[in-house]
Structures are given as structure tokens and as C-alpha cells.
Amino acid sequence: MLPHTLRCIALAAFRQSARTAHSRPSGTKYLTKAAFFDEDTDASTRSRADSMREAFSQSLHNITLRIQMMNMDTIKQELQKQAREIEQRMWDAALFMHAHPELGRQEFLAQERLCSLLAAHGFHIEKDLAGLETAFRATYSFDGNDAPTVAYLAEYDALPEIGHACGHNLIAAMSVGAAIVLSKIQGGLHGRVMVLGTPDEEGGGGKIELIQHGAFKDIDAAMMIHPGSRDIKRKWNLAAVSCIVEFYGKAAHAADCPFDGINALDALIQLFNSVSLLRQQLRDDVRIHGIITDGGSAANIIPEYTRAQFLVRASELQRTYNVLEQFIQCVKGAALATGTREQITIDRDHMYEPLMTNNLLMELYADNMQRLGVQVEEQHPGELGGSSDIGNVSQLVPAIHPTGRIFRPGQDAPGHSHEFALASKSEEARLNMLLGIQALAMCGADLLGQPDILCKVKEEFQKTRTKA
């Protein structure tokens, strides 16, 4: 808001200019703040006064914007400074999580470490959200109000066997660090900042369960940064649905009387072959992949039961459903060809939706990264990514999910690899963490310190969702 004294000065100047520029017809009153006149005021005077009032209003608006920009520049400088001050503590937390990887819904050490950091900086902590023991919500209000609310999403689950090969230790450190840094700003920000701890992103859909229990209903915008090999402002994530396929046959001795058996493993192998043949007919944005989780118990027994897990993905939700139907036909065909009985369990309740990036919020992030000396690029639509439950979040609130580079120039490694896990504790990762904390905090300041920007972000979201 424009300071009261400056408003008074501007108003006094306006009144004085009105008096000196125009003579008052007899019977009229002096121009007041609301520009009221007696009934005998002529139309010409009224018109001139209306024009002057509009000009004054525009001037006042322009002055307000300039002051807001000056204040925001100061705020962002302070945010960068505060981020550098907590860098070591956040890096220690990132390394702790890296050294103690925990699978989805078992992230108790990570939850405790992150909540302790937030509580030490005055955040109100709530744990065990939506029946998820390792979820948490941490909030800090700037003015006692719950709105608007900017949320930073923290992921902290690891992968089986290869640990933090998706860099979730860095995601958590950046989101928590950004919230702490933002909370240090005294004056100029309104509403509240939140960290939402979202367990089990790697296939379990923790955010989806939080959505189903209303954890996102009071959030105006959501942000997080994912580690990667490049600095990218927009990711193209795929929709994904998980399927469990089971085949039931009949056991028999594999050498003595194989003809008495019905081979459930044959059905499963036939399914993989059918999927491989189907791929040549699929669009470039479609992925089907799976693993055998039970292929039989002994080589001398005709397998009577087999099991596999598949993921079906596509860039559009409807296309995912269409490909899912094709996959189901492959399952039925394999059962028919081998004389087995099939059972398909589709986890529709945890279906990952495609990411809908908010363009205005994305450009705010790009501008803030540029302020930090980093030029971000936009991922080409043909470069497909993975899938994440932030896609479901982005269908409810304005959201961004950019990536930050944790490799040296010219180096790279695929996600979910041992090499990526090593990169998640490298010096490049530390630099990315600091930049991420600063950029996320500055985006939060843009939204909580400039209501017009947040309004435009939400307007764009509504228009995009309507088109979708």
C-alpha cells in the first residue's frame, strides 16, 4: 500500500491543481476527495474534473507500482542474503537424507529432520495428514491471515536399492529452505507460507491422498524444483496408471507330466511379447513398461501363478485411458492363448495426471533465476519426462515443477541410476540447492507481496483449466 503521508501529499497537490487550473462557477463547492459538485455545476467543469480524477487515479496507481517494485527489489536482495545464511544447515539436511534413504511411507527420519528445522524458525507443525504418518504441514503467517497461501512441496522418499537417485533429498531441502527464508521478511508480504510434506511420490501417490483429504483446498499456488541435468522452466510430465496383472494356471511336474499343467508363466511371457508388438502402433508420447514380480517357484514345476506390474503412460489423460484399453486386450489375449485365467487390478485411485504448468508463474521463476545469473530453457514437448503426482496438484491450483542442474556442463546421467544418486550429493547439487531456495523464495515474495500478480496467476489457471 502507498504510505498514508504520500497519499495526502498527492491528494493535496491534486486539489491545488484543480483550484488553480479551473475557475469555479458560482454556487459550486470546492472539489473534494470524491469530486462531488452542486447540481448547478456545468457539464464542462464536471467533465474536466472527471478527467483530472482519472488522471490522478492512474498516477496514484503508477506511483504505487513503482514503490512496490522498489520494495520487492529490496525484499529479493534480503531473501538472497538469508538463503546464504541458512545454506549450510539446509545442505546438512540434504546430506542427512541422502545418507539415510527411506522408502515411501517410511520417511520418519526425514520428516523429523525437516519439521525440526521449520519449528525452530517459528512454523506451526502438523503431522500425520490424511492418514499418512510421514506427511506434514508447516505454516507461517505474516499478518495473522490464512490467505493467500503459497505452498512449497517437499518430497523425501527414496528408491529401493539405489537410494536418492531421484534427488528428493534436494527437493525437500529447497522447499523447506525457501519457506524459512521467506518467513524472515518483515513487512511487505501478506498471507501465509506453507511447506507441505508429501510422502511416497515414487509410485504411491502421496499427494493424491492429500488431495482427496482436502490438504490443498486453501492453497493459492504450489511450487517445487526437481533436480536434473539442465535448468528447465517447464517439464512435460506424463499421466500414468499402475496395473497389477495375475495369471492363474495349473501346476504339474515339468518333466514327468507337463501336459497336465497350464503354464501361467507362458501367459505372462505372451503378454510381454504382445506389448512389444503393440509399441510399433503407439504414438511417440506413450510408454508401457513392466516387471515380473512372481514368475513361479521352481524350474521343475509348471507355474500355476504369475504376477507382473505394468505402468501405462501418455502425455494426455484420455490417451492414457485409450492405451490402457489396448493393454487390457493384450492381457485377455495372452490368457486366451494359454488357457489361463487372468486378473487385472488397475489403481485408478492413484492415477498420476499430466502436469499443467502455469505459464505466468513459470515466467516469474525464469525471471528470478535470471536475476540469480541462470538462464533457464524450456523443454521441448517431444522430450518426454516421467510422471509425478504434482500433475494432480496442478489440476487443482496454479503450479510449477521446473528442474535445476546438478551436473557439471557436459555431464549427465539418467534419473533413477546410481550415477544420479551420486550427483545428488555433489557440489553442483549444493549450488543448485542454494539457487533453488533463492528462486522459490523470490517467487513466493512475488505472489504474497504483489496481489495483482497472484490474481493474474489464478486467472490464467482458471482459463487453462476451462480449456482443458
Residue 78 identity: E
Are residues 118 and 232 both part of a single domain?
yes
Model confidence pLDDT, tens digit, residues 255-290: 999 999 999 999 999 999 999 999 999 999 999 999
Examine the pLDDT at 50 and tell me if it is beyond 50.
yes
- Cβ neighbors of 161 (< 8 A, separation 6 or more) are none
How confident is the model at residue 467, as a pLDDT? 72
Q: What is the pLDDT of residue 462?
A: 97
Q: What is the pLDDT of residue 124?
A: 99
- Return the CATH number at 116: 3.40.630.10
CATH number of the domain residue 324 falls in? 3.30.70.360
Instruction: Indicate if the pLDDT at residue 199 is higher than 50.
Output: yes
Which range marks the domain in which residue 164 is found?
70-237+354-467
pLDDT tens readout for residues 326-359:
999 999 999 999 999 999 999 999 999 999 999 9
230 and 200 belong to one structural domain: yes
| Average pLDDT score over the chain | 91
Rg (C-alpha) for the chain, rounded Å, is 29
For residue 209, pLDDT over 50 is answered with yes
Give the number of domains in the chain: 2
Does the reported pTM lie above 0.95? no
Q: Do the bridges between strand 239-248 and strand 341-346 make them parallel or antiparallel, or are there none, so unpaired?
A: antiparallel
* Residue 10, pLDDT above cutoff 90: no
The answer to whether residues 75 and 206 belong to one domain is: yes
Instruction: Mark whether 134 and 94 lie in a shared domain.
Output: yes
Same domain for 229 and 130?
A: yes
Q: What dihedral angle (degrees, nearest 10) is formed by the CA atoms of 198, 201, 204, 205? A: 60
**pLDDT tens column, 53-90:** 676 666 655 655 555 566 999 999 999 999 999 999 99
Which residue among 304, 330, 350 closes a domain? 350
User: Does 35 or 399 have the greater pLDDT score?
Assistant: 399
**pLDDT tens by residue, 116-152:** 999 999 999 999 999 999 999 999 999 999 999 999 9
Indicate whether 267 and 301 sit together in one domain: yes
Q: In sequence order, what are the residues at sequence separation of 6 or more whose Cβ sits closer than 8 angstroms to the Cβ of residue 226? A: 166, 167, 171, 235, 388, 401, 402, 403, 404
